[in-house]
Each structure stands twice: as structure tokens, then as C-alpha cells.
Amino acid sequence: DQQVKQNSPSLSVQEGRISILNCDYTNSMFDYFLWYKKYPAEGPTFLISISSIKDKNEDGRFTVFLNKSAKHLSLHIVPSQPGDSAVYFCAASELGGGNKLTFGTGTQLKVEL
């Protein structure tokens, strides 16, 4: 069963506009959430994270929002830049689970000029 779901396999956005990537989860034991960015032929690169005790975390152009009651999180990128074009993975870990990550299937973001 897919405990972390990214239902949009792809997203296309114009440069300068906002990109919103969504993620849903089913496991109530998840208490920490991360977003990773992946370019072809490279490993995932950590982008931003959020603890379950918060509902928002911001780092420069990137903001992650967490809605625990809906088991939903989203990543906002504003303004979007062509270099942001990559696959974005949502991941989650459980308290006491050794921090092993459960990943979603990814969303391919394309930022067009």
C-alpha cells in the first residue's frame, strides 16, 4: 500500500509564477516530512522539511505547508525558475522509526520560459 501519495505525476508552470506540489499520506504515525529534488542521473537532494508540530516552514523561495487533519502537505515554490525543473519527491518518517523514509512516487516539475 502506498502510504505517501503524489497524485500529479507532472506539473508545468511558467517562469516567475508559483509552483504548488501536493502530497497526501495515510500513516498517522508519520511525524516528520521532507521534500527532495532529483535531477536525472543524480541522487535526491534535500530541499526543505517540516515537523508535525508545525504547519508551515519557509526557506527562501520554498515553503512547505502541513495540514495534519487532512494528512496533506504541499510545497510552494515562488517565483519558479527554469532551474527548478526536476522531479520532486515527498517523504515521511515515523518517530522512533530510525528515520527511514517513505517516499511518494514523485512529481515532474517543468518550469517554462
- Is residue 96 near another protein by the rule CB under 8 A? no
Rounded to 5 degrees, φ, ψ at 15 are -55, 135
Q: Binding to another protein (CB under 8 A): which residues in 59-88? A: none
Kindly state the smallest distance separating residue 113's Cβ from another protein, in Å: 27
Of 50, 106, 60, 64, whose CA–CA distance to 81 is shortest?
Answer: 60
Among 49, 52, 57, 74, binds another protein (CB under 8 A): 49
- Is residue 104 near another protein by the rule CB under 8 A? yes
